[in-house]
Amino acid sequence: MILLQNILLDDRRTNIFIEGERIRRISPSPIPVPPGTEIIDGSHQAVIPGFINMHTHAAMILLRGIHEDLCLYDWLERIWKIEAKVDREFIYHATRAACLEMLKGGTTTFNDQYWFAPESRRAALEMGLRPRIAFVFLDSHNAEMAARQRKAFEALYERSKGWEGEPGLCVGIHSVYTVSEENILWANRFALEHGLKVHMHLAETPLEDRDCRKAHDGLSPTAYFDRLGVLGPHVIAAHCLCLSDDDVEILGKRGVHCVHNINSNAKLSSGYHFRYNELRDAGANVCLGTDGAASSNSLDLLETMKTTALFQKAWRNDPREMPLGELMDCATVNGARALGLESGVIREGALADLSLVDLDNTYFLSPGSFLANLIYAAHSDVISSVIVGGRLVMRNRHVPHEEEILEGARNVIREIEAL
């Protein structure tokens, strides 16, 4: 049990009592608490919902900065050569390091798509985060590989029934250009039959759009997936950058969760005209992600929010675009909605996935908007403590076993250095 005492929430001082994994009570009047409750003095702090990073390849943190200044396909070709050599041990230690970094940035949940899903999940749970981990279908249109992946996924799904806690397993359809139609249909059917989310890359580059139209009767990637009957509210689609008006309408009508990854898209020059207003108005749920740290270099959602807003205001030539409240929703509650979690909001009964923000610094001196100061001025080192499911997993910027996590990652990176 935790009591956050006299803490700033939405510009007002209040008290928040956390019992078990949920927020039990919020009240500006003193809350009587049972003995054994940990009391945190919030008089110099604010509380915000934990960030939800809706598109990551967490273990790529150890491939950060390895190939710079390349466009997506050249970059992918080089990264895939390295990835062919990574093993379970690498994924486990790399994901632990990524979780350490995400916690320090106030992220409590991440939606991952990478190799060796069980190792990523184990690392994330040990670090105290709430992960969603996709098994990746990527068969390069090779029938033998496709069959092997289906078998491997079925076995993993069976194993996941015995996992302790929420399995958090998702179906990853890498993209239209890397997965055969047969596997796309199989994976989607499996997801629907078993109530799993589908996590895919969609409409990331103009080249993907061109190639898809050439291969599939002039259909865009969005229209192609729609023709296959794949798109629906169980789908989390990363990027959604190269969209026609028809594509926007389809994504909205199907209730797809669209994840914007501005830092990765801008850095790889894939594009930056993300159609936030149109997708929102059409009925799609827009969330934010960082993508892997090998392409965007950062797993920092505070930075992502700032870049997102700057690009939206700049390319639309209108400073009213992407207002602060909507920006914050994209990084929190919209992700929770996509994953079916009762988090991303601070209210009684919701999951206690929260971050505390240290207000004792220059960023918050002005009487201006707290969210503006947080997103446009502060950096993620103002995140002082993080609570996930009612557990304090970072306290005053201290995460248990930090040295050991760094050492584990250094050991596996030596293998990559030798490549």
| Nearer Cβ to Zn ion (139/291) | 291
Residue 264 C-beta: closest distance to Zn ion, Å: 7
Indicate the residue among 205 and 343 with the shorter CB distance to Zn ion: 205
The answer to whether 10 and 19 are in contact (CB under 8 A) is: no
In what helix (H) or strand (E) does residue 215 lie, and over which residues does it extend? Answer: helix 206-215
Burial code (b: 16+ CB inside 10 Å, e: under 16) for 165-174 equals eebbbbbbbb
**144 contacts: CB under 8 Å, gap ≥ 6:** none
Considering the complex, state which of residue 301 and residue 382 has its C-beta at the smaller distance from Zn ion.
Answer: 301
Strands (E), 91-234: 107-113, 130-137, 169-173, 198-202
Q: Which residues contact Zn ion (rule: CB under 5 A)?
A: 291
| Cβ-based nearer residue to Zn ion, 247 or 291 | 291
Which is closer to Zn ion, CB of 167 or CB of 289? 289
249 burial via Cβ count (<10 Å: 0-12, 13-18, 19+): middle
Q: How far is the CB of 88 from Zn ion (least distance, A)?
A: 21
> Which tokens is 112 given?
């991952």
Supply the minimum distance, in Å, between the C-beta of residue 295 and Zn ion. Answer: 7
Query: Which bin fits 237, alpha (ψ -120 to 50), beta or left (φ > 0)?
Result: beta
Closest residue to Zn ion: CB criterion: 291
Q: Which is nearer to Zn ion, 243 or 259 (CB)?
A: 259
Instruction: Mark 267-296 as b/e (b = at least 16 C-beta within 10 Å).
Output: bbebbbebbbbbbbebebbbbbbbbbbbbb
Please, what is the minimum distance in Å from the beta carbon of residue 201 to Zn ion?
5
**Residue whose CB is less far from Zn ion, 66 or 399:** 66
Q: How far is the CB of 113 from Zn ion (least distance, A)?
A: 7
Give dist(CA 240, CA 222) in Å, integer: 8
- Element holding 333 (H helix, E strand): helix 333-339
CB of 57 to Zn ion, least distance (A): 6
CA distance 197 to 234: 5
Long-range contacts of 159-167 (CB under 8 A, 24+ apart): 159/118, 163/121, 165/125, 166/130
CB of 291 to Zn ion, least distance (A): 5
**Cβ atoms 241, 203 nearer than 8 A:** yes
State the minimum distance, in angstroms, from the CB of residue 401 to Zn ion.
28
Q: Which is nearer to Zn ion, 58 or 248 (CB)?
A: 58
